[in-house]
Every structure is written in structure tokens, then in C-alpha cells.
Amino acid sequence: MKILVTGGAGFIGSNFVHLTLEKYPEHEITVIDKLTYAGNKESLKEVIDNISFVEGDICDEDLIDQLVSQNDLIVHFAAESHNDNSIADPSPFIQTNLIGTFIILEAIRKHKKKLHHISTDEVYGDLELDDPSRFTPDTPYNPSSPYSSSKAGSDMLVRAWVRTYGIHATISNCSNNYGPRQHVEKMIPRQITNILIGSKLKLYGKGENVRDWIHVDDHNTAVWQIINKGESGEIYLIGADGEKSNIEVFNLILQEMGKDETWLEHVKDRPGHDLRYAIDNTKLIEELGWSPQYTNFEDGLRATIEWYKKNEAWWKPQKDTTEAKYRKVEA
């Protein structure tokens, strides 16, 4: 099978490429990535000779039409994905997440190809901290930020193209990912690399907000299970029962890296900060037979910390620019 991976130099996309080459070496992979600040070709350095790489924009209609026509399956990771950035400037999120997805869908419709669309649990909004319920495929969309709104819109486009035009597409909405090759603007790698450069951890507000964490490799094995066994038009929620408050995660990072609470600094909370995300993964487990490898968050966190310790050359060029941006919003 020939596979086009959009956003394949980003965090989850590059890990998907690595996993696919390991588990499915018979497939041919083409990656398209715009190589914005969040895309890093170095994330594909070890496998670049085994794939085709195209530097390009998913909003380039002619390029996408050509690439889609040459492949059997499109796995669509490409997205602007950082909440703080979407609050500061929503326009790139509308362009990439909505217009880009529309262009991909039109090429898929024209060439009769298959699509798996990667999305987020943030499209469902948030839950109260004391609410025992979790997101399911039937939970109404209620996005809070420009980022999650643009992803909700892209999901709706995919649903509409399945129903109206009969394209073959599946959708997955995943909880918060962590693991190797994640940009240092994201919560876990930011705090790990802060300690590595001698800076304090930066915690929004009181740190009571809860996220449902999943290791990126578990996310990507679930994506493959959906590609192999999922039904067109179906929505699958990917989670690994990893609910933890932000303060719990910060304390674990401190503990794993040998630091005490004096290394923790509370900063101004994000506007509209969602309280709690939680995924009900019953459909994925019972219908498709998927199960996560990292059932213990501490094990996955420990492996992630070790990766950042060993790969300073990968993350160090991003760090100064990222912290300069944060200083403006946290002041």
C-alpha cells in the first residue's frame, strides 16, 4: 500500500512514520510537511532514506491533488495545534485545519482514495472536575478555543464528505499525547527541558485542570487498528485511561528529575482553560480489539524524560524562541 502522511514531520506524524516502517515495512510512505516551526525534518532523520519527503503546504491544491492521486491511503495529521497560539492569532488555524482539510477531501473524492483523519478530544469542550462521565463518540461538540473549533470544523467536513459524496473515511479523536519528538511548546516537554536548562517549571493557575494522557506510540497503534479494522464513517475515540491533573504531572516530573517544589512556579492561567478531558475508549477496545502498551503513565514519562536528555541537539534550537513567546503571555 502507498500511504501519504500529512504533517509527517510533526510530533505525532513523525512517530507514526517510525512505527509504520517498523511494523509495516512493505508499505511505501510519502510525507508532506510545510516545515513550519512545529515541523522538524530532523524527526525523520533516521528514516529519511526509506521514505519520500515533500516540503509543501496542504493548502496547495495542485500539489495535494497530485500526491493524493499517487497514493492509496491518506493519513491526515497536518494541523496547527497549539491552544495558546490560536488565542494569539487564529488565522493559521482556520487556513490549515479547515481549508487544508477541505482541499484534501476534494482530492480524495476526485481520485476515490481512503482517508483517516486525526483529530482531538478538545472538540468536545471540557468536563467538570467532579463529573464522572467521559467523552464518547456521541458527545456533542462544544469547542472552547480557536484551535479546537477549527478541528471540530474539520471533523464535520469529513463527516459531510462521507455522507454526501460517499468517500471512505474514518475519524479518530485522541486525548493528550506525550512522548519523543514533541515540540517544547507543549506542556510535558516544556517542563522537562526547563529543568534541563536550569529553569523552573511553569504551571498555569493552580494546576487543577485534568488531562487524559496517552503515549504517542499507543495513539499510533490505535490509528493502525482503525485503518485495518475500522468502518468508513465511524468515529473512534483514542485514550489510555490516563487522567491526571496538571499538578500531578508536574510533581511526577520533579520527582523523576530529582527536583523539589522550589522548582515549581505558578503563572497566569490561560484564557478559557478547559477543566477536564476524559476519553471513553470502549468502542476502540471492544470493536477493534486495541489495547495500550503504556498502561503506567510513570513508565512512559520516564522514557520521555530520557529521550529529551539524550536529544538536546533536537530540542535546543526551539527552546529560546518558545520561551520568549511564553514570557509575553505569562507576564
- The domain that holds 101 is classified in CATH as 3.40.50.720
**Is position 26 annotated as part of the catalytic site?**
no
Q: What is the Cα gyration radius of the chain?
A: 19
What is d(CA 111, CA 37) in angstroms, rounded to the nearest whole number? 31
Nine-digit cell string for 71: 497514493
Residue-level pLDDT at 247: 97
Long-range pairs for 45-52: beta carbons < 8 A, 24 or more residues apart: 46/18, 47/17, 47/18, 47/21, 50/21, 51/8, 51/17, 51/21, 52/28
The verdict on residue 256 lying in a domain is: no
Tally of domains in the chain? 1
Residue 14 forms part of a structural domain: yes
pLDDT score recorded for residue 213:
97
For residue 156, give the nearest of 144, 145, 169 by alpha carbon: 169
Residues 6+ away with beta carbon under 8 Å from 4: 30, 31, 32, 67, 68, 70, 71, 73, 74, 75
The set of residues, in sequence order, having a beta carbon less than 8 Å from that of 264 and lying 6+ positions away, is: 200, 201, 203, 250, 254
165 among known catalytic residues: no
C-alpha cell, 130: 467532579
Strand residue runs (E) in 155-263: 168-174, 176-178, 201-204, 210-215, 235-238, 243-245
pLDDT 10s digit of each residue in the chain, 331 long?
999 999 999 999 999 999 999 999 999 999 999 999 989 999 999 999 999 999 999 999 999 999 999 999 999 999 998 777 888 899 999 999 999 999 999 999 999 999 999 999 999 999 999 999 999 999 999 999 999 999 999 999 999 999 999 999 999 999 999 999 999 999 999 999 999 999 999 999 999 999 999 999 999 999 999 999 999 999 999 999 999 999 999 999 999 999 999 999 999 888 888 899 999 999 999 999 999 999 999 999 999 999 999 999 999 999 999 999 888 877 6
Strand ranges (E), the chain: 2-6, 28-33, 52-55, 73-76, 114-120, 168-174, 176-178, 201-204, 210-215, 235-238, 243-245, 264-267
Burial of 285: CB neighbours in 10 Å, binned 0-12, 13-18, 19+:
middle
DSSP state of 268: P
What separation in angstroms does the CA of 120 have from each of 19, 44, 52, 236? 20, 23, 27, 11
Residue 39 resides in a domain: yes
Q: Cα separation of 111 and 147, whole Å? A: 29
pLDDT in tens, 252-291: 999 999 999 999 999 988 888 889 999 999 999 999 999 9
- pLDDT at site 272: 82
- Domain assignment present for residue 235? The answer is yes
Catalytic residue among 57, 80, 126, 147: 147
C-alpha cell at 323: 520561551
- Burial class (CB within 10 angstroms; exposed 0-12, middle 13-18, buried 19+) of 303: middle
Catalytic residue (choose from 57, 80, 122, 323): 122
* pLDDT value of position 331: 62
Q: Which is the catalytic residue, given 33, 121, 274, 323?
A: 121
- Does residue 191 sit within a domain? no
* Structural domain for 172, as ranges: 2-183+214-241+274-295
- Under DSSP, the state recorded for 233 is T
Asked about 126 being catalytic, the answer comes back as: no
* 58 and 78 Cβ atoms separated by less than 8 Å: yes
**Distance (Å, rounded) from C-alpha 312 to C-alpha 260?**
23
